[in-house]
Structure 1
Amino acid sequence: MDWINLAIETGKTIAFAIITLIVGLAIIKIIMKIVGNQMEKSKLDESLKPFLQSMMSIILKILLIISVISILGADITSFAAIIAAAGFAVGLAFQGSLANFAGGILLLTLRPFRVGDYIEGAGYGGTVKAIQILYTELTTPDNKVIFIPNGGLSNAGIVNYSVNSTRRVDFTFGVGYETDAQHVLHTLENVVNSHSAVLQDPEPFIRLSAHGDSAVEYTVRVWANAEDYWDVHFDILEQVKIKFDQENISIPYPQMDVHVSNQ
């Protein structure tokens, strides 16, 4: 009858372990939901929220698994050694993922960008939607979703267009050599100063900048609020073309004069 008692005790232990696992997973789900709601109400940086939730979920599940193994009577010390060895093997197999994990830690610690910023990095550009453990999620202007590994992103140059509230918009316009320079400068000033989104501090810069092969080049540099950058960019290009046509200011095509000499 000893084997019957042993089977009964073993069955109870296994059943208790299964119940603990099921209840534990349910409790973790409830905890994560509560934590998620509290994070949404808090002033915590949006970049940190998904990362912290992922980390907390993983840690709680690991603790639950250790508890279940302990209930089953396994030696936790031996289990820890096995986990360490397995971790080493997995680490060798997933070096890229570990690099991405470390990159995620760096990005969240150094914070070169935050959720909502428009950035360029690792050959891609878009608005940051989330910084996950292994990947950063970007949404492009044409609504594509890009997942960039954090390892590559943290090691690449990152351009953040959202850090400063203002941006400079640069233009270069080519004009025919026969056109009066003061007339061109005055026309460009009228176009720039008539745009409501162009800031006057810093003052717009409009100067003749180069004698090109086919045209005289004029450089225009204006400042605008970051959210108005593309409006100013396209509006100025459009208005300069319209104004040049009205003022009979030519925009020459690239050309080459060939002189033939009969000897």
Structure 2
Amino acid sequence: MDWMNVVIEYGRIILFALITLIVGLIVIKFIVRIVGKQLERSKLDESLKPFLQSLVSAILKILLLISVVNILGYPTASFVAVIGAAGLAIGLAFQGSLANLAGGVLLLTVRPFRVGDYIEGAGYNGTVKAIQILYTELITPDNKVIFIPNGNLSNAGIVNYSVNSTRRVDFKFGVGYEADTKHVIQTLESVVHSHQAILQDPEPFIRLSAHGDSAVEYTVRVWVNAEDYWDVHFDILEQVKTRFDQENISIPYPQMDVHVTNE
């Protein structure tokens, strides 16, 4: 009977499609497992590895689904068009999240900073606590937690203060015009060279740098280990003020001389 032949034929197609689906899922699972092992051996960030593994799995399953639909006799072109349209609609609806996702992949791949680095970016600064797929978590010096969307962070300039082991600390000190230049420089040199955390190579820089409206400006630049930056910054400010007082070197306030003439 013709209808029996049709049933048998469709039964064979459905059975073949079912076998293809089952075998395909097994093969995909095997491939994803291999990819996972390769990712574990790679130097990629730990947060990126499960995402890439899931992405490979999703792509392979979509390809398998298209193959099964083709076996069943449905036009794959229409099916692909539906998937594409759905993908476009989802992309438009979640374009902000997708931008963050792309930014997260970029940050985890290029790695302009790592967990524990002190960075400045997207208008914020702090120590990196975690780099997630969508957000980067910062802890500010006053212990606030900031979640920055990776899309914003990856498209902004990033300053990483922890990449190099040393940093330069810059100071500017205003001194009264009546102070002897040689005496001021010697006093600053004494303060700088007495601080144990300041490196002598590169050599500290101490020079008169500007003639201001009410003060002579001296620039001091010293190199320190990165972890000593703030200790040296505050120590030198305090010690210079103390030594200037001891040496009777004035730190003038902004002032204006007014000359009155009688006509």
- Indicate whether the TM-score tops 0.5: yes
1:217 matches 2:217: yes
TM-score, length-normalised on structure 1?
0.75
Q: Of residues 48, 53, 56 in structure 2, which corresponds to 1:51? A: 48
Partner of residue 122, structure 2: 122
* Aligned positions of 1:19-168 closer than 5 A: 44=43, 48-56=45-53, 82-168=82-168
Q: Where does the alignment leave 5 or more consecutive residues of structure 2 unmatched?
A: 1-28
**Gapped regions of structure 1 (runs ≥ 5):** 1-26
Query: Deviation at 1:100?
Result: 1.4
Distance 1:43 1:195, change over 3 A: farther
Deviations 1:157-211 (A, max 9, x none): 1111011111000000001111111111110000000000000000000001111
Match for residue 257 of structure 2? 257
Q: Which amino acid aligns with 2:183?
A: H
Name the structure 2 match of 1:21: none
Distance in 2 between residues matched to 1:192 and 1:167, nearest whole Å: 15
Q: Give the secondary structure class of the aligned counterpart of 2:120.
A: strand
User: Is the 2:48–2:105 contact (alpha carbons within 8 Å) kept by the matching residues of 1?
Assistant: no
Per-residue CA deviation, residues 204-246 of structure 1 (Å, 9 max, x unaligned), is: 0000111111111110000000110000100000000011111
Q: 1:61 to 1:100 in 2, by over 3 A?
A: same
Return the alpha-carbon distance in structure 2 between the equivalents of residues 55 and 129 of structure 1. 22
Aligned with 1:191: secondary structure? helix
Compute the RMSD of aligned alpha carbons.
Answer: 3.1
What is the aligned partner in structure 2 of residue 20 from structure 1? Answer: none
Residue 178 of structure 2 aligns with which residue? Answer: 178
**Tell me, what secondary structure is at the counterpart of 1:208?**
strand
Contact 1:169 1:223 (8 Å CA) reproduced? yes
Contact kept? 1:51, 1:131, Cα under 8 Å: no
Supply the distance in 2 between the matched residues of 1:110 and 1:66 (Cα, whole angstroms). Answer: 29
CA distance in 1, matches of 2:102, 2:192: 47
> Any conservation in 1 of the 2:47–2:108 contact (CA below 8 Å)?
no
**1:139 CA displacement:** 1.3
- The one-letter amino acid of 1:112's match is P
2:218 is paired with a residue of what secondary structure? Answer: strand
How far apart, in 1, do the equivalents of 2:80 and 2:42 lie?
38
User: Which of the pair has more CA radius of gyration?
Assistant: 2
In the comparison of the two structures, how many residue pairs are matched?
226
Q: Is the 8 A contact 1:50 1:130 kept in 2?
A: no
After superposing the two structures, state which structure 1 stretch, 193-202 or 136-145, moved more.
136-145
Structure 1 letter corresponding to 2:49: L
